[in-house]
Amino acid sequence: MLYFAYTALISPERIAQVAPTAEFKFIAHLPEWGLEFPIKDKDWGGGLPSVAPTSGSTVWGAVFEVPEGEVDLVKKMEGEERRSATTVEAMDRTGKRHQVTTFVFDGRKNGGHAPSSKYLLMMLRGSRHWSLPAGWIAGLEEHLSSAS
Residue 148 falls inside a structural domain: no
Domain encompassing residue 7 = 2-142
Q: Where do runs of H (alpha helix) occur along the chain?
A: 12-18, 68-80, 117-129, 134-145
**Count of beta carbons in the 10 Å neighbourhood of residue 55:** 7
Average pLDDT over every residue of 77-87: 97
Kindly state whether residue 52 falls inside one of the protein's structural domains: yes
In a domain, 147, yes or no: no
Q: Is 129 among the domain residues?
A: yes
Q: Tell me if 43 is assigned to some domain.
A: yes
pLDDT at 110: 62
Alpha-carbon distance of 2 to 67, in angstroms, equals 9
Return the pLDDT at 146.
80
Q: What is the pLDDT of residues 85-142, one digit of tens each?
A: 999 999 999 999 999 999 999 877 666 889 999 999 999 999 999 999 999 999 999 9
Instruction: Say how many domains are in the chain.
Output: 1
88: domain CATH number?
3.10.490.10
pLDDT score of 44 = 94
Round to whole Å and give the CA distance between 107 and 13. 28
Residue 135 within any structural domain of the chain? yes
94 within some domain: yes
Confidence at 84, pLDDT banded by 50, 70, 90: very high
Contacting residues for 80 by C-beta, under 8 A, at least 6 apart: none
CB 103 within 8 A of CB 86: yes
Backbone angles phi, psi at 78, to 5 degrees: -65, -40
What pLDDT, on a 0 to 100 scale, did the predictor assign at position 128?
Answer: 98
Contact 123, 7 (CB under 8 A): yes
Q: What is the spatial distance between Cα 146 and Cα 109, in angstroms, rounded to a whole number?
A: 20
- Please report whether residue 134 resides in a domain: yes
